[in-house]
Chains A and B, each alone.
Chain A
Amino acid sequence: MGVNSTNMGNLSPQWNGNGKKTRSVTFCVTEDCNLACKYCYMEHKNKRKRMTFEVAKKAVDYILNDREEFRDNAIVWDFIGGEPFLEIDLIDKVSDYIKQQMLILDHPSFNNYRFSFSTNGLLYNTPKVQKYIRKNKGHISVNISVDGNRVKHDLQRVYPNGKGSYDDVVKNVPLWMEQFGDVQTKATFAHDDLPHLKDSIISLWNLGIKWVSANVVFEDIWEEGDDEIFENQLMELADYVIDNELWNDYSVRFFNPRIGFPLDKELKKDNFCGAGHMLAVDCEGRYYPCIRFLDFTLMNKVGLCIGDVDHGINEDLQRRFWGLNLENQSSQECINCEVGTGCAWCSGFNYDVAETDTVYQRATYLCKMHKANVRACEYFWQKYEEATGKKSPRREIREEKLGVHYLQFITGNSITPHCNYRNNFKTKESMSKKLIEKGLKFARDNHYTPVFLGNQDGNLEENYPNNIFILDSKDKTSSKNNITIYNNEVADTSNSSDIATILISKKNIVKIYKFIEELNRKKRINIVLQDVEKWELEDINEYEDQLRQVSQLVIESYENGTYLSINILTDRLNLNEHYGCEAGVNSIALAPNGKLYICPAFYFDEPENNIGDLETGIKVKNDHLFKLSNAPICSECDAYHCMRCKFLNEKLTKEINTPSKIQCVISHIERNITRELQQRLIERRLLSSVDKIPKIDYLDPLEKIIRNKKEA
């Protein structure tokens, strides 16, 4: 699968401070507004309060002169209201003062600053605003709020007399786009306007606003069934995007491919919003951690003031924000949420509705809405893959975060095995086309990457291109990504795939060096040892001998820069924790009988031993035994490259988490020869001397465990 370059779900590229750390400073220049939007968070807007130049000047002086407190070398000067353009004369004067002072003081932000505006757009085309924009053209960003289509916009964004403002705003959009190119707007959805969501986003795109940073409100207003309406609207929007192939040029944040994954360690230590790292100044010159902590934006609490223009910032009052992170303000449910990424909050709103005057209590009224968003997002990206045949960014992110999960299709009972198992089936039964299709759907729905074992006489690769195939060397393949299996002979090396698996039976141990030498040009060679349970001392000795010879090939490849990679010899060089087989965890197998297995070995050994099917899903009993921490011998072992084959474990010791002696001995011989190889590579300066493999005096870690127990 190739990867498409798509903008869908992203926000428009934001100014990044020209590579410098950026501080945002917000001036609330007026609490007045020429609209009376119904959902406006500014609860107590009024016509009285306006900022004076003197107040703004004091704030600018403080910010530019106190380099201890304001160390950032890039600044976004944000002007907000009410409606900021009502105060364009003041803004002009303040902006000029900022520019002059930055220059006079040789402030580093003179090279890196922006004047930023969030406006309802009604005054955008007035001569004064236009003059200001021309004067500061190289340093301005403007965000005009268009809330959707006319119905939706006029439901919310109304004049004080109740009349909608849509027409008056939209007539300024072409000028805005002409001046700022690819613009972005923010559309906010609440209970009443959810049914207009799809049409609203499409309408914004049709206006030419390609980037829509849409969201739903944080407030406790959601009613029973709202999540379903939301999800349906988003799914209809997804269909529209797919039908019209809009994914490259248009974007709405609801389809952000990053949302809806479990939280990793870093995210848990992060705060979603930047409160405390920004500064807001109200009309009277009081400082706040962000605009959402100002008095007139809160419903229940008084503003969380942290200082003023006459006294500066009271650091003690700001301290609470420095330690604020996801983990310490969220419930266990949110910390462990399976779909927690992208679930948003606003620290100002949290503060307003918290039971005490704290910022450490996260409000979660939008929980079900976020989950609905994630389901619809998932739906969109699946449709995207079906429509384009390409790997979606969402899949990329999933694989990065959660690892790749494989569904292996055992396409017939006569396939050449690719791992520690024998195919003793006498039948030629093949997987039906219907089952393959069903399996592919299951893979898509459950985020598995399909891997085909066998090619059904060359038909499958043609019918299902762009997938991974593991094929016998006698099957022709044209893809470098496929894996070729050489079954105890290397007859034809012309195969184009880069990865070779060589099956070695007991009688062919003696040929290991020869086979590897013949396949030396492959990027990767995997050796699979068959019937290890029958190995005797002389086999072990022969194996050791062969590995020593292969080591020489590896050294030569390091000398000539081709770096031969062989599972049994070079993997351990680069590992410092167990790698191990992921069967039953990150990969499962689908057999021609429609059943699912931990891996093909379990199917070929005993078809009854399945773990479910495509209809009822996967049920692995006692899957805690798959974890390394529950494998008592392996968890004490440092043969990190060892496959820890669950199938052989179960077959030879009857416990899936316990290896037999011969498995351990073989892996330790590999480990020890790798150690010799490492020493030789270091001596020749072909490898750095970090992470040296230690010398040990056992071939079976159980010996060490028993010894330690006795000593204890």
Chain B
Amino acid sequence: MEKELVGEVLEEEKYEILRLFERKIALEEVALTLENEGLNEKERDKLRKKVEEEYTKNKENLSTWWREKSEKYSWKKVKNGVWEIDFNTNKIILKG
């Protein structure tokens, strides 16, 4: 798989997506607690619903971030390629 450096984002922009990314993992990890004994049926259903809703919302927010930033910075794209961000350097890498 080819890798190419295609851009860079600002520090605050990096944190925006980092938080969305962490939220995604947090939702996945909270989903693992849904079968816990401590919850009654009602609480369980309510929590499951919230996890699902938030997960969908977060997914949309992640896509929006990529769309907006790629438009703002006009990153190169290729067919079937994906962009990745390096959280240490704020650099955007195209994998294709």
List residues of A whose CB falls within 8 A of some B CB.
18-19, 93, 96-97, 99-100, 102-104, 110-113, 135-139
Is B54 interfacial (CB 8 A cutoff)?
yes
CA distance A112 to B15 in the complex (A): 11
Are A103 and B29 closer than 8 Å at their CB atoms?
no
Is B5 interfacial (CB 8 A cutoff)?
no
CA distance A373 to B54 in the complex (A): 52
Question: Nearest chain A CB to B46's CB is how many angstroms away?
Answer: 8
Identify which of B25, B36, B47, B50 contacts A139 (C-beta below 8 A).
B25
Question: Nearest chain B CB to A89's CB is how many angstroms away?
Answer: 12
A18-B22, A111-B22, A138-B22 are known contacts; what are 18 more A-B pairs with Cβ within 8 Å?
A: A18-B18, A19-B11, A97-B38, A99-B29, A99-B33, A100-B30, A100-B33, A103-B26, A103-B27, A103-B51, A104-B47, A110-B26, A111-B19, A111-B23, A113-B26, A138-B25, A138-B26, A139-B29
What are 29 A-B residue pairs whose CB atoms fall within 8 Å in the complex? Answer: A18-B15, A18-B18, A18-B19, A18-B22, A19-B11, A96-B33, A96-B36, A97-B38, A99-B26, A99-B29, A99-B33, A102-B26, A103-B47, A104-B47, A104-B50, A110-B23, A110-B26, A111-B19, A111-B20, A111-B22, A111-B23, A112-B22, A135-B32, A138-B22, A138-B25, A138-B26, A138-B28, A139-B22, A139-B26
B interface SS class: helix
Contact A138-B29, Cβ < 8 Å, known A103-B50, A111-B22, A111-B23: yes
Question: Nearest chain A CB to B36's CB is how many angstroms away?
Answer: 6
> What 9 A-B pairs have minimum CB-CB distances, sorted nearest first?
A138-B25, A19-B15, A96-B33, A111-B19, A99-B30, A111-B23, A18-B18, A18-B19, A111-B22
List residues of B whose CB falls within 8 A of some A CB.
11-12, 15, 18-20, 22-23, 25-30, 32-33, 36, 38, 47, 50-51, 54
CA distance A100 to B39 in the complex (A): 10
CA distance A111 to B28 in the complex (A): 12
Residues of chain A within 8 A (CB-CB) of B51 are: 103
CA distance A96 to B35 in the complex (A): 11
Are B36 and A103 closer than 8 Å at their CB atoms?
no
Residues of chain B within 8 A (CB-CB) of A139 are: 22, 25-26, 29
Identify which of B12, B27, B38, B50 contacts A19 (C-beta below 8 A).
B12
CA distance A136 to B33 in the complex (A): 10
CA distance A105 to B87 in the complex (A): 28
Identify which of B19, B29, B30 contacts A112 (C-beta below 8 A).
B19
Question: Nearest chain B CB to A133's CB is how many angstroms away?
Answer: 12
Question: Nearest chain B CB to A697's CB is how many angstroms away?
Answer: 51
Question: Nearest chain A CB to B45's CB is how many angstroms away?
Answer: 13
Which of A102, A104, A111, A136 has the most CB atoms of chain B within a 10 A radius of its CB?
A111
